Chains A and B, each alone.
Chain A
Amino acid sequence: KAGVTQTPRYLIKTRGQQVTLSCSPISGHRSVSWYQQTPGQGLQFLFEYFSETQRNKGNFPGRFSGRQFSNSRSEMNVSTLELGDSALYLCASSASGGAGHTQYFGPGTRLTVL
């Protein structure tokens, strides 16, 4: 079974631009979560989607948004990019949810904002 895939793997943008990152979950997985990882803040939860609905959201500004499609693929969008948005963005999928289930992470998209 193929793992979680994320595209693109690397991205360079300038301040003020917007960016869209894509995530394809493991086949059959309906839950997709997004995380931001920076050296200063570590790994932080952005949001989770399940069956095309946002089920949980972290403490990030409204510039960060996401969506999930009927095939469970997910995209996240960051508008009006700031230097501080430079980070590794990780996507993770899970079969459903619940504390007994595990998440499978993709390799991440490295975003650099200049």
Chain B
Amino acid sequence: DAKTTQPNSMESNEEEPVHLPCNHSTISGTDYIHWYRQLPSQGPEYVIHGLTSNVNNRMASLAIAEDRKSSTLILHRATLRDAAVYYCILRDSVDSSYKLIFGSGTRLLVRP
């Protein structure tokens, strides 16, 4: 499974945008980029995923570099509820089984 690299922690002010980076220089052409987050005392929850094009949903946006070696999760207006550990994960589309390889993620602190 391809490896991802994320900063250990980031801080943001409430109601400001947050850009969470992820490097995945060894990504293959069949790898999807998934983002999950884990709020305190909860199981991880799905945030967004994409393959090549930028993606938007109600929670966030995913910006994927043209060479796909990096991506950025964008929270448009951070709230206190967004304080969590964010995981960037690569999923091989060739593999039909479901196996997520979690790294250490980025711990996001949101200041009121």
Interface residues in chain A, defined as those with a beta carbon under 8 Å from any beta carbon in chain B:
4, 31, 33, 35, 42-45, 48, 50, 55-56, 58, 90, 92, 94, 96-108
How many of B's residues come within 8 Å of A, CB to CB?
27
Q: How far is the CA of A48 from the CA of B106 in the complex (A)?
A: 26
User: What are the residues of chain B within 8 A of A102 when measuring CB–CB?
Assistant: 34, 46, 49
User: How many pairs of residues, A versus B, come closer than 8 Å at their CB atoms?
Assistant: 74
Determine how close the nearest CB of chain B comes to the CB of A114; give it in whole angstroms: 22
Inter-chain contact A31/B98, CB cutoff 8 Å: yes
A82 to B1, CA, bound (A): 29
Instruction: Give chain B nearest CB distance to A72 CB in angstroms.
Output: 13
Inside 8 A of A98's CB, which chain B residues have their CB? 93, 96
Main secondary structure on B side of the interface with A? loop
Interface residues of B (CB under 8 A from A): 30-32, 34, 36, 42-46, 49, 51, 87, 91-93, 95-105
Task: Give 4 A-B pairs besides A43-B87, A103-B36 with Cβ atoms closer than 8 angstroms.
Answer: A45-B100, A97-B98, A103-B100, A106-B43
Residue contact B99 to A99, C-beta cutoff 8 Å = no
A56 to B44, Cβ gap below 8 A? no
Residues of chain A with a CB closer than 8 A to B102's CB: 35, 42-44
Residues from chain A with a CB closer than 8 A to the CB of B104 are: 42
The reply to whether A58 and B98 contact each other, CB–CB distance below 8 Å, is no
CB<8 Å pairs between A and B, sample of 16: A33-B99, A33-B100, A43-B102, A45-B100, A56-B98, A56-B99, A96-B96, A97-B97, A99-B32, A99-B91, A99-B93, A99-B95, A101-B98, A103-B46, A106-B43, A108-B43
User: Closest CB of chain A to B42's CB: distance in Å?
Assistant: 6
Closest to B96 in A: A97
Given the known inter-chain contacts A45-B99, A45-B101, please indicate yes or no for A99 contacting B30, CB distance below 8 A.
yes
Residues of B within 8 A of A100 (CB): 32, 49, 51, 93
Q: Which 3 A-B pairs have the closest CB atoms?
A: A105-B43, A99-B93, A43-B102
